[in-house]
Amino acid sequence: MDHDNQLTADVIVIGFGKGGKTAARVLADAGRSVVLVERSANMYGGTCPNVGCVPSKMLVHYSGERRLEDDAQEFFAKSIAGVRELTTAFRAGNFAAIDGRPTAMVLTGTARFLDEHTVSVGEGDDAVTVTGATILINTGSEAIVPAVPGLAESTRLVSSTELIQNDHLPRRLVVIGGGYLGLEFASIYRHFGAEVTVLESAERLLPREDDDVAAAVTGILAGDGIRIITGATVLDVRDEEAGSIVRYEVDGDSGEVEADALLPATGRRPVIEGLGLEAAGVELTERGGIRVDEHLRTSRPHIFALGDVNGGEQFTYISLDDARIVLDQLLGSGERATTDRVAVPHTLFTTPPLATVGLTERRARTEGRRVRVARENVADIVAMPRAYAMEETRGLMKFIVDSDTDLILGAALLSIDAQELVNTVALAMRHGITATQLRDSIYTHPSSTEAFNEVFDNIVSEA
- Measured CA angle at 423 (ends 394, 343), to 5 deg: 110
- Measure the CA–CA gap between 424 and 390, rounded to whole angstroms: 21
Catalytic residues: 445
Report the alpha-carbon distance of residue 181 to residue 167 in Å, rounded.
19
Q: Please, which residues have CB within 8 angstroms of residue 337's CB and are 6 or more apart in sequence? A: 294, 295, 325
DSSP 386-417: HHHHTT----EEEEEEETTT-BEEEEEEESTT
Whether cis (ω within 30° of 0) applies to the bond prior to 264 is: no
What's the DSSP call for residue 266? Answer: S
DSSP calls for 286-297: TTSSBP--TT-B
d(CA 147, CA 197): 19
Compute the residue count for the chain: 463
Q: Are 255 and 240 in contact (CB under 8 A)?
A: no
SS3 444: coil
Contact (Cβ atoms closer than 8 angstroms) between residue 103 and residue 75? no
Which residue, 71, 14, 74, 20, is CA-closest to 320?
Answer: 20
Q: Measure the CA–CA gap between 152 and 277, rounded to whole angstroms.
A: 27
CA distances, 261 to each of 187, 228, 257, 305 (Å):
15, 16, 11, 35
DSSP collapsed to 3 states, 270-282: ECCCCCCHHHHCC
- Selection from 374, 373, 380 nearest residue 395 by Cα: 380
